[in-house]
Amino acid sequence: MIKLFYFLFHPSWVFYSAFWVVLLFAMPCWAESPILDRLELDKDFPSGCGCIVGDAKGHFLVASDIEEKSSAIIKIAGKRYELKWVSSTETSAKPRLGARFSNVYESGPIRLELNRKTTFVCSPRDESCEVTGYVVRMILTIEGQTYRWTGLKGECGC
């Protein structure tokens, strides 16, 4: 019993337990993100050639035209935003597995950064294939508040 009392109230234990309590109560502030609504095909963006980023459930979160320097479309709390292209590290070379690049879009207080890593390219022998696949890390900043998503999936093609 004395050992248990000593363990529970030992100065190092009290410090660490206080640390974890503060961390657990503060975590919801870090973990909260804006409600990034899913986009609806044909309603929020036209079908056809383009690029999309979605979650593991297959919901589209970001869409853009396949043309270089095209804007990106997102929805936050039910409102559709068209973010203008700002910059890209993407090259005009043919896509290759493992290639990494970023695209940045902005509109007023909203800034969107998409960091992509190529995970799928069409075989040169498959003339009907027109899709390139990516794993995407997304960083969304709204009025100085930053939100991050990892493990998103992206595709560009027709």
Share of the chain above pLDDT 90, in %: 59
Enumerate residues 6+ apart whose C-beta is below 8 A from 1: none
Asked whether 137 and 157 are in contact (CB, 8 A), the reply is no
Q: What is the pLDDT of residues 97-150, one digit of tens each?
A: 999 999 999 999 999 999 999 999 999 899 899 999 999 999 999 999 999 999
pLDDT of residue 42: 78
- pLDDT bucket at 6, cuts 50 / 70 / 90: very low
Q: What are the beta bridge partners of residue 135?
A: 117, 153
Supply 30's token pair: 């870090």
Give the C-alpha separation, 16 to 24, whole Å: 12
CA distances to 2, 24, 59, 102 from 19, in Å: 24, 9, 37, 36
